Amino acid sequence: MKAVILVGGLGTRLRPLTLNTPKAMMPVLNKPFLEYVIRRLARHKVTDIVLAISHLAQPIEDHFGNGNRFGVRLEYTAEETALGTAGAVKNAEEYLEGEACLVLNGDIFTDLDLTAMMDFHRRSRALATIALTPVEDPTIYGLVETDDYGRITRFLEKPRWEDVTTNMINAGTYMLESQVLSYIPPQTNFSFERQVFPYLLERSEPIYAFPSLCYWMDIGTPEKYRRLNFDLLEGRSNQYQPDTTTNISIGEYSECHPTAIVTAPVVIGDSCSIGKNTRLTGPLVIGNGSNITNSSVVENSIIWQNVSVEEDTNVRQSIIANGCIIGAGSLITDSIVPDNVTVATGYRMINCSDIQPGASIG
């Protein structure tokens, strides 16, 4: 079984974080997001994988290479202009060699049992199988209705509450027979959700649902990206086992001053320095090579790599990307700070998410 992972989206809702870093490379507990997706496929013995990229390809290729390090074989397809979810899979057709394939949205973290889904797909003789997940507010999603045998009967886009008939939505994992690709025009922007699946349904082709209650989170927005990190720290997925005694993890070559007060759950990467009288309160992730200097307070945040939080600074409910310098005595709260930003001494930043990478603030 081969798989195509869609990693070519612009990630506009995650800007400015995704201006330099593709969504697939955003760190989750200090590892690129896509690593979890690839390792999960490998655990389900899906080791031939195509990465469908169109935007910011280089950091992905540099990290994953031919896939050897991760126990898989990777191929890459490129798109001159974004081809949409279905157009991107059509573009990978030559690698699929006429076989059925799995398609995964590359921004979804899930514990979905792929082996069970592949078995179900084969047994039901479906042309396409779509994984489903329940959500609390179905009115902002595309709902999927099924009959008693799991066959999909209707797609319902963003219904009003009074029209809601199910809370199950498309979970962004598909199993497709090769014939499905014949419904997708080559080199054309085309969508599974809006075009291919509704068209197959219109033709009464067998499309089945594979519902699951397992952990599921898409990282499309900063809030959900933060939520995923925190959910993992709190043990909500089976893909990360927090240390059950302390739930504090400190990486290699990192130093934490004995006067620092660290309240779980916290992950500190490699080669970090946590200074005197600092207070770190979880859920919190600190990336490799970052320094939290004396008397600073950092809580409920995600700090990427090589960030310097200078002394007496407060960082709360924020995401600070690679290489930022947060000046002494400043306050950063409910904000998103993209790569290589310098924040001046004593600056107060509250609820800010429109800073450009590399900017000097204050």
Question: Which residues are bridge partners to 134 per DSSP?
Answer: 168
Residue 170: CB minimum distance to ligand GTP, A: 11
Nearest of 341, 303, 349 to residue 16 by alpha carbon:
341
Cα angle value 54/57/63 (rounded, 5°): 145
Strands 291-292 and 273-274: parallel
Given the rule CB under 6 A, which of 59-67, 101-109, 160-168, 287-295 is the region that contacts ligand GTP? 101-109
The span from the CA of 185 to the CA of 192, in Å, is 12
The span from the CA of 206 to the CA of 191, in Å, is 19
Whichever of 6 and 169 has its CB closer to ligand GTP, that residue is 6
3-state secondary structure of 143: strand
The residue from 21, 54, 306, 330 that contacts ligand GTP (CB under 6 A) is: 54
* Those residues with Cβ within 8 angstroms of residue 125's Cβ, 6 or more apart along the chain or in another chain: 206
The residue from 2, 3, 11, 313 that contacts ligand GTP (CB under 6 A) is: 11
Q: Are 355 and 326 in contact (CB under 8 A)?
A: no
45: annotated active-site residue:
no
Residue 348: CB minimum distance to ligand GTP, A: 29
Residues in contact with ligand GTP, shown as a per-residue x/- string from 214 to 253 under the rule CB under 6 A: ------x---------------------------------
Residue 349: CB minimum distance to ligand GTP, A: 23
| Per CB under 6 A, 8 contacts ligand GTP | yes
- Name the token pair of 345: 């001494």
Whichever of 29 and 86 has its CB closer to ligand GTP, that residue is 86
| Per CB under 6 A, 286 contacts ligand GTP | no
- Binding residues vs ligand GTP (CB under 6 A): 6-13, 23, 52-54, 79, 82-85, 88, 105-107, 220
Residues recognised as catalytic: 158
